[in-house]
């Protein structure tokens, strides 16, 4: 159920069952956000350089944008000693089974500094009736929706691996979520999570930066997405253009300044909503990192 090469895949997108789209948003309050260590290339040079007042304002602007779009936004309080907890895409992978049962895979965080974040989200989802599934440490690392993205409307999971997530973890995740995984090897440390170089926009469209992937990965993407919008290298690397989020198939929320990407998105029929996330870019994250979607 895990595929890394197009030649090995024996199904087409239309062969896969439909899956309801997640419409609820979870965010984590940013009062403890700061750059206190370096665990990705974007953090270098930014230790102690964050402005918490600005970070709070940027977080609130994103939350307000979701609410203006009519989305239900829940929050988990940030915890002291967990400065990256605000990036709540990383600690879990929620899923819904064909019979309607809901579950959540709990992450094995790659960096020791972030392992303490996971129990906060386990409690949140268990409180909603989700079955929580920790992964055996022998399977290696896994960083939730930072690396695992649902194909909109289909029972298909895209899984990034190579920096923060182990390929071995996906066999177990595939079994838990009852979905095949198309696994994409990440080859550039600036794009250490899949959500930094691939954004699902709707059932047929994704935004991506091809330079983050191997040739096998690009072949899988081109085969399973009827339409791919390509972000240029500077937009993707410097402005985190592919860490965008399209919660409704129409509005694309992303950090300001990606003029080429924005023009391509508008040409493809999307409404671009620029959300300032400059404080969070110092820690290697932007819009998509700052939320998790669930059912």
Dump pLDDT digits (tens) for 143-167. Answer: 999 999 999 999 999 999 999 999 9
Task: Indicate which residue of 42, 193, 245, 255 is catalytic.
Answer: 193
Q: Is the CB of residue 143 less than 8 Å from the CB of residue 193?
A: yes
Residues 135-144: tens digit of each pLDDT: 999 999 999 9
Q: Which residues contact 108 (CB under 8 A, 6 or more apart)?
A: 135, 137, 139, 140, 141, 142, 169
DSSP state of 130: P
Residue position matching structure tokens 């700061």: 34
Find the mean pLDDT for residues 83-97: 98
Would the pTM count as exceeding 0.85? yes
Give the bridge partners for 63, in sequence order. Answer: none
Among residues 235, 238, 184, which one has the least CA distance to residue 212?
Answer: 184
Q: Is the CB of residue 17 less than 8 Å from the CB of residue 154?
A: yes
Q: Which band of pLDDT confidence, cut at 50, 70 and 90, is reported for residue 18?
A: very high
Q: Is the CB of residue 146 less than 8 Å from the CB of residue 195?
A: yes
Catalytic annotation on 242? Answer: no
2-294 maps to CATH 3.75.10.10: yes
Catalytic annotation on 193? Answer: yes
- Please, what is the Cα angle at 73 between 58 and 165, to 5 degrees? 75
DSSP state of 32: T
- Longest C-alpha distance within the chain, in Å? 51
Q: What value does the mean pLDDT of the chain take?
A: 98
Residue 126 CA to residue 137 CA, distance in Å, equals 21
Q: Which band of pLDDT confidence, cut at 50, 70 and 90, is reported for residue 120?
A: very high
Q: What does the domain layout of the chain look like in residue ranges?
A: 2-294
- Residue 89: strand, helix, or coil: coil
Task: Indicate which residue of 88, 197, 242, 289 is catalytic.
Answer: 289
What are the C-alpha distances in Å from 169 to residues 26, 140, 162?
24, 6, 11
The radius of gyration of the chain from alpha carbons, rounded to an integer in Å, stands at: 17
């Amino acid at each position: 159920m895990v595929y890394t090469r197009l030649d090995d895949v024996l199904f087409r997108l239309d062969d896969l069952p439909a899956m309801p789209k997640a419409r609820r948003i979870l965010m984590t309050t940013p009062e403890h956000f700061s750059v206190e260590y370096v665990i990705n290339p974007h953090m270098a040079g930014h230790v102690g350089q964050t402005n918490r007042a600005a970070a709070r304002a940027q977080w609130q602007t994103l939350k307000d944008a979701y609410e203006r779009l009519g989305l239900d936004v829940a929050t988990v309080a940030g915890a002291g000693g967990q400065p990256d907890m605000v990036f709540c895409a990383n600690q879990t992978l929620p899923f819904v089974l064909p019979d309607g049962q809901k579950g959540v895979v709990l992450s094995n965080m790659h960096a020791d500094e972030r392992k303490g974040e996971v129990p906060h989200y386990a409690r949140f989802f268990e409180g909603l009736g989700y079955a929580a599934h920790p992964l055996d440490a022998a399977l290696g690392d896994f960083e939730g929706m930072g690396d695992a993205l649902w194909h909109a409307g289909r029972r298909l999971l895209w899984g990034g691996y190579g920096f923060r997530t182990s390929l071995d973890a996906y066999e177990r995740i595939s079994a838990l979520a009852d979905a095949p995984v198309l696994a994409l090897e990440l080859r550039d440390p600036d794009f250490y999570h899949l959500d930094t170089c691939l954004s699902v926009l709707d059932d047929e469209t994704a935004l991506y930066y091809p330079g983050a992937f191997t040739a096998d990965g690009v072949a899988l993407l081109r085969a399973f997405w009827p339409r791919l919008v390509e972000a240029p290298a500077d937009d993707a690397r410097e402005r985190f253009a592919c860490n965008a989020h399209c919660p409704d198939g129409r509005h694309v929320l992303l950090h300001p300044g990606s003029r080429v990407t924005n023009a391509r998105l508008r040409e493809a029929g999307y409404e671009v909503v620029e959300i300032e996330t400059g404080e969070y870019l110092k820690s290697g994250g932007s819009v998509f990192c700052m939320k998790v979607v669930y059912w």
